[in-house]
Amino acid sequence: MPDGENVAALDVTLHTIDGLVLVEFEPLELSRTNSDAAPMSFATRVQPDYYAIIKKTVTRLQLAITLQQFCQVLADEVSLLSGMERVIIYKFHADQHGEVVAESLLGDQPPWLGLHYPAEDIPKPARDMFAKTWIRPVPDTNVALAEMTPLLNADTGKPLDMTHCALRGVSLLYTEYLKNMGVLAGLTMALRRGNELWGLITCHHYSGPRAVPYQLRAACEFLAQVGSLQLQAVEDRENAAYRIKLEEVNQQLLTMAAQEGGLASITDGQPSLLGAMHASGAALFHRDRWWRLGQTPDEIQLEGLAAWLMAHLHTNSLTDSVYATESLVADYPPAAAFSHVASGLLVAPLSYSGQNLIMWFRPEVIQTVNWGGDPHDKPMVSSPFGIRRMPRRSFERFTESVRHHAFPWLQVEIDAAARLRSLIMELVIVRAERMAGLNADLARSNEELDAFAYVASHDLKEPLRGIHKYAHQLMEAASGDEEEKRRLNGLMRLTLRMDTLLDSLLHFSRVGREDLTLEKIDLNDVLADAIEMVSSRTSDSRKQIAAPRPLPQIVGDRVRVREVLVNLLSNGLKYNDKENKRVEVGFIEAHESSLRSNFPESSNGHTVYYVRDNGIGIAPRHFEQVFKIFKRLHGREEYGGGAGAGLTIVKKLVERHRGQVWPAVGAEDSTGSTGSTFFFTLNAMDEN
Amino acid sequence: MPAPISSSLAESILVVEDSDEDFDTLVEAARGLGETRTIHRALSGGDCLALLRGEGGTHQAPLSLLPSLIFMDLNSHGVDGREALVVIKSEPRLKEIPLVILTTSANPKDLTFCYQAGANAYHVKPVRHDHYLLLLRSILHYWLESATLQHLMAEAN
Assign A39 a pLDDT band (cuts: 50, 70, 90).
very low
Of the candidates A468, A473, A503, the beta carbon closest to that of B128 is on: A468
Q: What residues are paired with A91 via a beta bridge?
A: A99, A199
Q: Which helix (H) or strand (E) holds B8?
A: strand B6-9
What is the reported pLDDT for A37? Answer: 40
Q: Is the pLDDT of residue A237 over 90?
A: no
Last residue of a domain, one of A514, A548, A566: A514
For chain B, which residues lie within 8 Å of any Cβ of chain A, measuring from their own Cβ?
19, 21-22, 25, 75, 104-109, 125-130, 132
Assign B150 a pLDDT band (cuts: 50, 70, 90).
low
Q: Is the pLDDT of residue A630 over 70?
A: yes
For range A456-475, the mean pLDDT: 88
Residue A520 and residue A508 share a domain: no
CATH 3.40.50.2300 at B6-156, yes or no: yes
pLDDT tens digits along B51-72: 888 877 666 677 778 888 999 9
In this prediction the ipTM stands at 0.80
**Contact (CB, 8 A) for A36 and A46:** no
What is the reported pLDDT for A539? Answer: 64
* Closest chain B C-alpha to A474 CA, distance in angstroms: 12
What is the reported pLDDT for A38? Answer: 42
What is the reported pLDDT for A408? Answer: 87
Distance CA B124, CA B113 (A): 14
Residue A90 and residue A181 share a domain: yes
For range A563-573, the mean pLDDT: 91
pLDDT tens digits along B103-114: 988 888 889 999
Q: How many CB pairs under 8 A join A and B?
A: 46
pLDDT tens digits along B34-56: 888 889 999 989 889 998 888 77
Least confident of A143-152, A430-439, A643-652: A143-152
Q: Is residue A339 part of a domain?
A: yes
Nearest CA in chain A to B17: A462
Q: Is residue A595 part of a domain?
A: yes
For range A283-297, the mean pLDDT: 88
Nearest CA in chain A to B128: A468
Nearest CA in chain B to A498: B127
Last residue of a domain, one of A238, A269, A296: A238
Q: Is the pLDDT of residue B9 over 70?
A: no
Residue A670 and residue A526 share a domain: yes
What is the reported pLDDT for B56? Answer: 74
Q: Is residue A382 part of a domain?
A: no
Return residues 432-471 of A near B (CB < 8 Å). Answer: 454, 458, 461-462, 464-466, 468-471
pLDDT tens digits along A404-440: 888 889 889 999 999 998 888 888 888 888 888 888 8
Residue A463 and residue A524 share a domain: no
Mutate to test the interface with B, among A455, A462, A476 (most CBs of B within 10 A): A462
* Closest chain B C-alpha to A542 CA, distance in angstroms: 32
DSSP state for residue A21 in the 8-state scheme = E
B128–A496 C-beta distance less than 8 A: yes
A473 interaction partners in chain B (CB closer than 8 Å) = 129
pLDDT tens digits along A349-389: 887 666 788 999 999 877 666 666 554 444 445 555 554 44
CB-based burial label for A355 (10 Å; 0-12, 13-18, 19+): middle
pLDDT tens digits along A533-564: 888 766 666 788 889 999 999 999 999 999 99
Of the candidates B19, B106, B130, the beta carbon closest to that of A462 is on: B19
A472 interaction partners in chain B (CB closer than 8 Å) = 129-130
A159: CATH: 3.30.450.40
Instruction: Answer with the residue of higher pLDDT: A34 or A331.
Output: A331
B19 interaction partners in chain A (CB closer than 8 Å) = 462, 465-466
Residue A328 and residue A207 share a domain: no
B108–A462 C-beta distance less than 8 A: no
Assign A30 a pLDDT band (cuts: 50, 70, 90).
low
A496 vs B: CB within 8 A: yes
Half-sphere exposure at residue A123, Cβ-oriented, CA atoms within 13 angstroms:
5
Where helices occur in A259-343 by DSSP H, the ranges are 265-268, 299-315, 328-331, 339-342
- Count how many domains chain A has: 4
Q: Is the pLDDT of residue A504 over 90?
A: no
Residue A165 and residue A33 share a domain: yes
**Contact (CB, 8 A) for B129 and A472:** yes
DSSP 3-state assignment of B76?
coil
* Closest chain A C-alpha to B134 CA, distance in angstroms: 13
Q: Is residue A283 part of a domain?
A: yes
**Amino acid letter at B45?**
G
What domain range is A299 assigned to? 259-373+387-409
Q: Is the pLDDT of residue A628 over 80?
A: yes
Residue A34 and residue A129 share a domain: yes
Q: Is residue A67 part of a domain?
A: yes
Q: What does pTM read for this prediction?
A: 0.53
For range A612-635, the mean pLDDT: 81
Sheet with B121-124, edge to edge strand ranges: B38-42, B12-16, B69-72, B99-103, B121-124
Q: Which of A9, A40, A4 is nearest to A25 (CA)?
A: A9
Residue A664: how many CB atoms within 10 A of its CB? 17
Q: Is residue A563 part of a domain?
A: yes
Distance CA A577, CA A575 (A): 7
Q: What is the DSSP string of A170-218?
A: PPHHHHHHHHHTT--EEEEEEEEETTEEEEEEEEEE-SS--PPPHHHHH
Residue A682 and residue A566 share a domain: yes
Ramachandran quadrant class, A639 (left: phi over 0; alpha: psi -120 to 50; beta: rest): left
Residues contacting A431, CB < 8 A, separation 6+: none
Angle at A514 between CA A512 and CA A518, to 5 degrees: 110
Distance CA B114, CA B85 (A): 8
Q: What residues are paired with A360 via a beta bridge?
A: A282, A346
Residue A156: how many CB atoms within 10 A of its CB? 11
B107–A461 C-beta distance less than 8 A: no
pLDDT tens digits along A520-532: 999 999 999 999 8
Average pLDDT over chain A, rounded to an integer: 82
Distance CA A485, CA A469 (A): 15
Least confident of A157-171, A521-535, A568-582, A602-616: A157-171
* Closest chain A C-alpha to B115 CA, distance in angstroms: 19
Residue A605 and residue A593 share a domain: yes
Residue A519 and residue A492 share a domain: no
Distance CA B34, CA B28 (A): 10
